[in-house]
Chains A and B, each alone.
Chain A
Amino acid sequence: MSRIAGVFDELQRSGRKALIPYIVAGDPDPAGTVPLLHKLVASGADVIEVGVPFSDPMAEGPVIQKGHERALANGMTLKKVLSTVAEFRQQDAKTPIVMMGYTNPIERFGYDAFADACVGAGVDGLITVDLPPEEVDAIDTALQAVGLDNIFLISPTTPESRIKTIVGRARGFVYCVAVKGVTGSGQLDTTEVAESVALIRDKTTLPIAVGFGIKDAESACAVAAAADAVVVGSALIDKMNQEAALGNTSQIQLHSAAVKLLRSIRAGVDSSPS
């Protein structure tokens, strides 16, 4: 059983939902990324999504865009993201790491070389935001050969026939996008989210994570009622930005702000009625 499947299996048996924080590797400071990953785990993260910075992050809202820009300005590269994960793995053999990024840097790295490097670093799954299932064969062959999970996004505009195609190719979990729009945007309509999750649930036994637009304990609690996992990204990064704007720019201050928010979201997820 893969690390991702193992975590979801264990949570399901204990009647709990997963919490998946997202951060951009190298933001705001490359040296702080590994310590932050460990703190996120200590504060309730079950899986972590590590954003691979890209010059043109089309699916991201302004908060995560700036994170990508800062990370690139800090000299972050795909290779360095992989070594960051490898360093994290030295202390944590249990928490699954999902890399989330865009096609071009991975293609440039080479699909087979990338898949091997992921295994070497201890990465468990991959979300390639701008690669639709029609174009996924080449990379998926490489990922499957080494047992990595390929995770797809399903948006509120994805028709049912397409959901079937996507879940047929998905491994690990399915990522249900909660709002029409980019990361960190929009007003979350929890009734619509529940309907989207039900539509996907009907077609797959894979766990369903919901992300985009979850900002606090309350929205996390509402989403966790329908989903198997709650993803939170922009809110965490925004929290660190706010802290930095107050002049509290040390690594400890920034991480404490993020961790405080994650703990409250964890409580929100755990208080969910389901």
Chain B
Amino acid sequence: MSALSDLEKLYMDLRDDPAFQKEFDLDLAHYVGRPSPLYEAARLSDAIGGGRIFLKREDLNHTGAHKVNNTIGQALLAKRMGKKRVIAETGAGQHGVASATVAARLGLECCVFMGEEDIRRQALNVYRMKLLGAKVVSVTSGSRTLKDAMNEAMRDWVTNIDDTFYIIGTVAGPHPYPMLVRDFQSVIGREARAQCLVQNGKLPDALVACVGGGSNAIGLFHPFLGDADVAMYGVEAGGKGLETGAHAAPLSAGTPGVLHGNRTYLMQDEDGQILETHSVSAGLDYPGVGPEHSWLKDIGRVQYVAANDDEALSAFHRLTKVEGIMPALETAHALAHAEKLAAGMTPEQHIVVNLSGRGDKDILTVASIDGIEV
């Protein structure tokens, strides 16, 4: 607890410190490659008919996903605290890669916890982390996925608290993490909002983002929360279908509870045990969700829906074929819902989809589902 209080205190001091913000912004510009473009997916819009779809291209960031925005920010905090080792949990491996990347850049020791099941299905990212000098620890407890990796990272952190900084990859976990991860990711929404005004002369009618823990979604949504006319959709992993129970959609089909130091919607049984999740995408395979999303659901500001594995896979193929952009399977869930939404809109209406990550890491998964040996 005292490590969390120390982190909160440091962050509250730095949050409005222009020198810290400048350092963060410079890194985002020169190391990550921001701002990321807002690209109109005209052929995708035409293929569907209806509203115009714009993609916020977080896949073009260094390391290929939005995750790096946050790891840059937290690495700056780790540096200020004088920590020489960072640890991270990862599901799809994108946050692990982004953590290993900033650790390499700052000369910090890095250890990434990853569920045994995820190591199997994200072999490319595992090797990337190793190339970057990180140690990847296979987590064999529980369901062997993201939540168990987070448990293991917490255990490591309390054991090595003196020299270690825990870089949490999403807007979950104990306070102050949900707040600081949201702040670091909000650059997505700030840029997108300004780009909409410049490129289209108006704000979008709807925002769509996938939600696992919810960091890319909160990053896009947060700067628009005051814009009452902008509808927002968070898309969870519907897995094999909400009715089958084999999904990862706590906001759509879960109940409130306490896990990993926050109160939020969870997938749990009647005894309060956390349930195993299912999703074709490792990055959405988490039984909880950031607490701010739970609040946004309860106040009705954001609508949370689910897209099934099959719908996500179709959206993956469609974007690849008609736009030449291969999205991550996580992101494909957002695209699947955006397509439904666009179909019911007019061409005067605009949708911004957070294209949170690129799909190279998922090629083997997709090939195996399609029955192709690579």
Q: Are A182 and B159 touching (Cβ within 8 A)?
A: yes
Residues of A within 8 A of B147 (CB): 56
Q: Are A58 and B260 touching (Cβ within 8 A)?
A: yes
Q: Using A181-B158, A182-B158 as known contacts, say yes or no to A104 and B268 having CB atoms under 8 A apart.
A: yes
Per the bound structure, the CA–CA distance linking A55 and B258 in Å amounts to 12
Number of interface residues, chain B, beta carbon within 8 A = 28
Q: Using A56-B147, A105-B271 as known contacts, say yes or no to A186 and B159 having CB atoms under 8 A apart.
A: yes
- Among B155, B259, B260, B268, chain A packs the most CB atoms within 10 A around the CB of B155
Q: Is A90 an interface residue (CB 8 A)?
A: no
Q: Is B3 an interface residue (CB 8 A)?
A: yes
Q: Is B273 an interface residue (CB 8 A)?
A: yes
Q: Are B142 and A69 touching (Cβ within 8 A)?
A: yes
Q: Shortest Cβ distance from A10 into chain B, in angstroms?
A: 34
Contact of A58 among B3, B155, B161 (CB under 8 A): B155
Q: Is A244 an interface residue (CB 8 A)?
A: no
Q: Are A55 and B142 touching (Cβ within 8 A)?
A: yes
Q: Are A158 and B159 touching (Cβ within 8 A)?
A: no
Q: Is A157 an interface residue (CB 8 A)?
A: yes
Q: Are A180 and B161 touching (Cβ within 8 A)?
A: yes
Q: Is B138 an interface residue (CB 8 A)?
A: no
Per the bound structure, the CA–CA distance linking A105 and B158 in Å amounts to 23
Residues of B within 8 A of A55 (CB): 142, 273-275
Q: Are B151 and A108 touching (Cβ within 8 A)?
A: no
Per the bound structure, the CA–CA distance linking A105 and B275 in Å amounts to 12
Q: Are B258 and A103 touching (Cβ within 8 A)?
A: yes
Binding stretch for chain B, among A21-29, A72-80, A116-124, A199-207: A72-80
Per the bound structure, the CA–CA distance linking A186 and B144 in Å amounts to 24
Q: Is A106 an interface residue (CB 8 A)?
A: yes
8 Å CB interface, B249-271 against A: 257-261, 266, 268, 270-271
Residues of B within 8 A of A132 (CB): 1
A159 to chain B: closest residue by CB: B2
Residues of B within 8 A of A62 (CB): 141
Per the bound structure, the CA–CA distance linking A107 and B256 in Å amounts to 10
Q: Using A104-B258, A104-B259 as known contacts, say yes or no to A58 and B272 having CB atoms under 8 A apart.
A: no
Q: Are A162 and B1 touching (Cβ within 8 A)?
A: yes
Contact of A56 among B2, B142, B161, B270 (CB under 8 A): B142
Per the bound structure, the CA–CA distance linking A54 and B260 in Å amounts to 13
Q: Are B161 and A104 touching (Cβ within 8 A)?
A: no
Q: Shortest Cβ distance from B267 into chain A, in angstroms?
A: 11
Q: Shortest Cβ distance from A92 into chain B, in angstroms?
A: 26
Residues of B within 8 A of A182 (CB): 155, 158-159
8 Å CB interface, B1-17 against A: 1-3
Q: Using A157-B3, A180-B161 as known contacts, say yes or no to A54 and B273 having CB atoms under 8 A apart.
A: yes
Residues of A within 8 A of B112 (CB): none
Q: Is B154 an interface residue (CB 8 A)?
A: yes
Q: Is A61 an interface residue (CB 8 A)?
A: yes
Q: Are A108 and B142 touching (Cβ within 8 A)?
A: no
Residues of B within 8 A of A69 (CB): 141-142
Per the bound structure, the CA–CA distance linking A159 and B270 in Å amounts to 37
Per the bound structure, the CA–CA distance linking A97 and B315 in Å amounts to 55
Contact with A along B139-177 (1 / 0, CB 8 A): 001100001100100110011111000000000000000
Q: Is A185 an interface residue (CB 8 A)?
A: yes
- Among A59, A104, A180, chain B packs the most CB atoms within 10 A around the CB of A104
Contact of B261 among A65, A130, A159, A162 (CB under 8 A): A130
Q: Shortest Cβ distance from B309 into chain A, in angstroms?
A: 24
Contact of A158 among B1, B261, B271, B273 (CB under 8 A): B1
B147 to chain A: closest residue by CB: A56
- Among A56, A60, A72, A106, chain B packs the most CB atoms within 10 A around the CB of A56
8 Å CB interface, A74-127 against B: 77-79, 103-109
A128 to chain B: closest residue by CB: B258
Per the bound structure, the CA–CA distance linking A60 and B154 in Å amounts to 10
Q: Shortest Cβ distance from A239 into chain B, in angstroms?
A: 21
Q: Using A55-B274, A69-B141, A130-B261 as known contacts, say yes or no to A157 and B161 having CB atoms under 8 A apart.
A: yes
Contact with A along B17-35 (1 / 0, CB 8 A): 0000000000000000000
Residues of B within 8 A of A185 (CB): 159
Contact of A105 among B1, B142, B148, B273 (CB under 8 A): B273
Per the bound structure, the CA–CA distance linking A162 and B1 in Å amounts to 10
Q: Are B257 and A107 touching (Cβ within 8 A)?
A: yes
Q: Are A181 and B274 touching (Cβ within 8 A)?
A: no
Residues of B within 8 A of A58 (CB): 151, 154-155, 260
Q: Are A61 and B155 touching (Cβ within 8 A)?
A: yes
Per the bound structure, the CA–CA distance linking A241 and B268 in Å amounts to 29
A108 to chain B: closest residue by CB: B272
Q: Are A181 and B268 touching (Cβ within 8 A)?
A: no
Per the bound structure, the CA–CA distance linking A77 and B275 in Å amounts to 14
Interface on A for B, CB 8 Å cutoff? 54-62, 65-66, 69, 72, 77-79, 103-109, 130, 132, 155, 157-159, 162, 180-182, 185-186
What are 8 of the A-B contact pairs (CB < 8 Å)? A55-B274, A55-B275, A56-B142, A59-B155, A69-B142, A104-B268, A108-B271, A158-B1
Interface on B for A, CB 8 Å cutoff? 1-3, 141-142, 147-148, 151, 154-155, 158-162, 257-261, 266, 268, 270-275
The 5 closest A-B pairs by CB, nearest first: A108-B272, A105-B272, A181-B159, A104-B272, A77-B271
A sample of 6 more A-B contacts (CB under 8 A), given A66-B141, A132-B1, is A61-B155, A103-B258, A108-B272, A155-B158, A158-B2, A182-B159
